Amino acid sequence: MKTYDIDVSLPRRRYWDTDIESPHRCPECQTPLVQDFQMYLMVTKQGKEVEPYLAGNKGGWFCPNCPVVVLNYDEFVQGMVVVSGVTTKEFTVAGIVNSDAIPDDKKHLPFGHNDNPIPLVEFLNPTHHQQASSTKRPINRKQRRKLKRRLKHKKKKK
Ligand SMILES: [Zn+2]
């Protein structure tokens, strides 16, 4: 039974379940979240190429109370494999596709067709979680040495 209709036309703040304490409660208001099937625009980097993919999945948990959606990270990794055929963690989720916004006479056209642009509802916050963690390289020895030297200098000044 569906007790709550999710308004996908509403731009939301996006959280990853891996970033919050309780994945089935809203990180902002603690309301129990509602799982729903939605279509997402995912973008992956394959080498230097950026490829967009549309993927429908049940990895989104929506807050009935505020514009928040919590995305299940594993579900999106799986979804990425299904649509792109590659296992990659280098992807971002650009937003939710509001399929209700497509007029009936355009529904037979493929998404992204000139006459049928993707009705993308982008997230309110940028989708940098995954990239941030993968670009966080440990500092190498040279840098560490430099840092130490700098610290010594500071101490000497005192
Ligand atoms: Zn909430």
151 lies in some domain = yes
Phi, psi for 94 (deg, rounded to 5): -75, -30
Please state the rounded mean pLDDT for residues 22-38: 95
Q: What is the pLDDT of residues 78-108, one digit of tens each?
A: 888 888 887 777 888 999 999 888 888 888 8
Separation of CA 1 and ligand 1 centre (Å): 21
Q: Is 109 in contact with 115 (CB distance < 8 Å)?
A: yes
2 lies in some domain = no
8 lies in some domain = no
Whole-prediction pTM value? 0.72
Separation of CA 157 and ligand 1 centre (Å): 51
Separation of CA 69 and ligand 1 centre (Å): 8
Separation of CA 64 and ligand 1 centre (Å): 7
91 lies in some domain = yes
What is the residue range of 145's domain?
A: 13-157
Separation of CA 118 and ligand 1 centre (Å): 27
First CA to last CA across the chain, in angstroms?
Answer: 69
Closest CA to 15 of 77, 75, 69: 69
Residue type, 151: L
- Given the structure tokens 């990895």, which residue do they identify? 59
Separation of CA 104 and ligand 1 centre (Å): 32
DSSP for residue 116: B
Please state the rounded mean pLDDT for residues 8-30: 94
Separation of CA 150 and ligand 1 centre (Å): 45
CA distance linking residue 24 with residue 46, whole number of Å = 32
Separation of CA 101 and ligand 1 centre (Å): 24
For residues 138 and 38, which has the higher predicted lDDT (pLDDT)?
A: 38
Question: Cα–Cα distances in Å, from 24 out to 16, 49, 149?
Answer: 11, 35, 47
40 lies in some domain = yes
Report the half-sphere exposure of 49 (CA within 13 A, side-chain side): 5
Separation of CA 2 and ligand 1 centre (Å): 18
For residues 116 and 75, which has the higher predicted lDDT (pLDDT)?
A: 75
* Domains held by the chain: number: 1
Which residues neighbour 44 within 8 Å (Cβ) at sequence distance 6 or greater?
Answer: 50, 51, 53, 80, 84, 86, 88, 90, 91
Closest CA to 24 of 57, 66, 69: 69
